[in-house]
Structure 1
Amino acid sequence: MSSCCAKTEFTGLSASYKRILWFIIAINAVMFGVEMLAGISAQSQALQADALDFLGDTLSYGISLWAIGKALTVRSSAALIKGISLLLMAIWVVGSTLYRIWVLNQPDAFTMGWVAIAAFSANMLSVLLLMRYRNGDANVRSVWLCSRNDAIGNLVVLLAASGVWYTDTPWPDLLTALIMATLFLSSSWQIIRQALAEKRAAAAQLAESGS
């Protein structure tokens, strides 16, 4: 989810980028509803964790769209909010998964599988659309990182579905939820670190211009 301030980076000021972002927001909103309903129905912690990620992305991409064209401090603050939201999601996933360990229910492997394939297809479309913008500022880069990690997470959920089917136990599902929490933490760290670096750069520029 490279040094962020060493050179001029893409900040999202592009009509085509904004159209892509609106399209991806719609995809994530739809997939959140589909995956959360399927996760609850299939009693799959991994699907619910992935659905929560879709919801987080829908909200964070909306923030990204709003922040485009704003001052660097505003854009870096928006990225910081997204990084913190990923951290909170990771904490929720870990906590709910640990709770489920004591209330083991067998998830529906078939539902897990087809929903994971649908989610992977949606996220890969987002990844391909965002590929050329992956090295932008913290606000733009956070969108790329979230979409990339979502596609990885979908593959992990698909593997978990195979594991649940093969072992006839819920453990692959629970382990997958914890792996996804790790992905959230990794992206959160990268986004927060880049956003803070951009904030420091903006403050230094302001101090320099005022001296």
Structure 2
Amino acid sequence: MKKICYHIPGMDCPSEERIIRMKLEGVEGLEALDFDLDGRKLDVFHSGKVEDITPLIESLNMGGRLNLVSEVDELPDETADHSVERKMLWAVLIINAVFFVGEMIAGWLSGSMGLVADSLDMLADALVYGLSLWAVGALVSRKKWVAAVSGYLQLALAAMGLMEVLRRVTGVEIFPDFRTMIVVSVLALVANSVSLYLLQKSKSKGQHVKASMICTSNDVIINAGIIVSGGLVYWTGSAIPDLVTGTIVFGLVVWGAVRIIKLSR
């Protein structure tokens, strides 16, 4: 059996891990996958040819490249307590789902595109965690179908958000309520900090939990950015900071959705 080691610079979140798993599932001779999200590394344990795996990794456009191939006799140790990981992921999923609804409502009521965009980022994370938890043991075709649905949903919502940004830039003046932006973003910041604390407290060595920590840390940065944009809206008396923040986050959601859709085909 071969241990095929890859360095994948674009792999740092649960979404990338899920994409890679779905891409490689069903490959004949595949024995196990060992992810190192911190080091952006993937070890593939495969009884077939390297040529069966490398093109699939490269097709994901994450910058993956082959580092080393060696012969091994044993698979990686997978004795982690998956029940603990599941509980933590369920907690993070619920927090993201609740704040998706809350931020979406607050965003539209306050006129803040930054909050609306962040709500979609919360939705994207919740869909990734939900897919990971629900699809265990499911057929590859079913996983790809669910991934496609979630990808198209994210893409449609993000596209509507970007059109609303364009509508406001080209004529419709809506001044966002900076107080709501700041208050709701602070609450979301607290929620993401709680998620990060729970994931760290679990002390799980599972790569999915480690990846969730990375993505939650990124969410904290986005929340802080919206708080800053709310302050800039107040200071400048302009909606532009909110529209810029919303556009950036919408773009991140679109980018993630397109990658998922491509994989599901």
Q: Same fold (TM over 0.5)?
A: yes
Compare 33-42 and 17-26 and name the one that shifted more. 33-42
Cα RMSD after superposing both structures: 3.8
Larger CA Rg, structure 1 vs 2: 2
Deviation at 1:19, TM superposition (A): 0.7
Q: Deviations over 1:34-54 (max 9, x none)?
A: 222221221111111212332
Q: How many residues align?
A: 192
Structure number having the greater strand percentage: 2
Compare 28-37 and 125-134 and name the one that shifted more. 125-134
Q: Which amino acid aligns with 1:160?
A: S
Superposition pairs for residues 140-151 of structure 1, below 5 Å?
146-151=215-220
Separation of aligned partners in 1, 2:260 and 2:166: 26
1:38 has 2:106 as partner: yes
Match in the other structure for 2:44: 6
Give the structure-1-normalised TM-score: 0.70
Q: Which amino acid aligns with 2:226?
A: V
Separation of aligned partners in 2, 1:79 and 1:145: 24
Match in the other structure for 1:16: 84
Identify the structure with bigger relative contact order (alpha carbons < 8 Å, sequence gap 6+). 1
Separation of aligned partners in 2, 1:116 and 1:52: 14
Separation of aligned partners in 1, 2:178 and 2:83: 42
Structure 2 unaligned blocks of 5 or more: 1-12, 14-39, 46-75
Deviation at 1:97, TM superposition (A): 1.3
Deviation at 1:99, TM superposition (A): 1.8
1:163 has 2:232 as partner: yes
Superposition pairs for residues 1-211 of structure 1, below 5 Å?
1=13, 2-4=40-42, 6=44, 14-68=82-136, 70=137, 73=140, 77=144, 80-81=147-148, 82=150, 85-102=153-170, 103-130=172-199, 136=207, 146-188=215-257, 192=260, 196=263
Compare 143-152 and 121-130 and name the one that shifted more. 143-152
Give the structure-2-normalised TM-score: 0.58
Structure number having the greater helix percentage: 1
Deviation at 1:157, TM superposition (A): 0.9
